[in-house]
Amino acid sequence: MENPQTWEEVDIWRKAERQRLAAGRLALSVEQRASLTREIIARLNQAVEITPGRIISAYFPYRGEPDLRPWMAQISSRGARVALPIVATKNAPLTFRLWTPEARLERGVLGIPVPAGTEEVTPDVVLAPCLGFDRSCYRLGYGGGYFDRTLAAFEKRPLAIGVAFAPFQIETIFPQPHDIPMDRIVTDQAIWTPV
């Protein structure tokens, strides 16, 4: 489907595109992903101001996503407070719990580790992994709508940054009214802001 027009057509297109992008990411070797991730981390250090006490929500890697755990430990040692997103209720906004390298973890939704019993916080910065992204800084995720729902629910919106491998930039995600663009997309090649 080259140019979907209706929401139903966009939904069909997105499902196929998600499968294509996920397969492409998993086709990257471990070494390729690690190399690209190092470049992403270098750019995150430019894109995110790290100050003591600032709450930055990152994520644990899932299905070949950039592995930001070394960066999370680094910014934690510099005084930032790191949080991880939690799916507490299906089809509801995410919640966020503090994480440290010493935090006890438990299995969350999809088996992704989450902090066990740490303080729930409101982040100043939210990093969201992207399967794909477009030049207007819309991200294509797994389709659950959690990050869009969460950003829409914040009283004071945090800085929202999508994290992606550059080869997975697409022309458009065909944004719909519920889609919320990121303030920035950080890749291994660039830091994008919406056009």
pLDDT single digits (tens) 64-118: 999 999 999 999 999 999 999 999 888 899 999 999 999 999 998 778 899 998 9
Q: In what order do the strands lie in the sheet with 191-192?
A: 95-99, 81-86, 55-57, 125-129, 159-163, 184-186, 191-192
Residue 125 · residue 54 · CB < 8 Å: yes
**pLDDT less than 70: residues of the chain:** 1
Q: Is residue 133 part of a domain?
A: yes
Q: Is residue 158 part of a domain?
A: yes
pLDDT at 1: 60
Q: Whole-model pTM?
A: 0.94
Q: Is residue 89 part of a domain?
A: yes
pLDDT at 152: 94
Number of domains into which the chain is organized? 1
pLDDT at 21: 97
Q: Is residue 1 part of a domain?
A: no
Q: Is residue 132 part of a domain?
A: yes
| Residues facing 115 on adjacent strands | 105
Residue with tokens 């509801």: 92
pLDDT at 71: 97
Q: Is residue 2 part of a domain?
A: no
Q: Is residue 122 part of a domain?
A: yes
| Angstrom distance (rounded) from CA 35 to CA 29 | 10
The CATH number linked to 21 is 3.40.50.10420
pLDDT at 7: 87
Domain interval for residue 111: 7-192
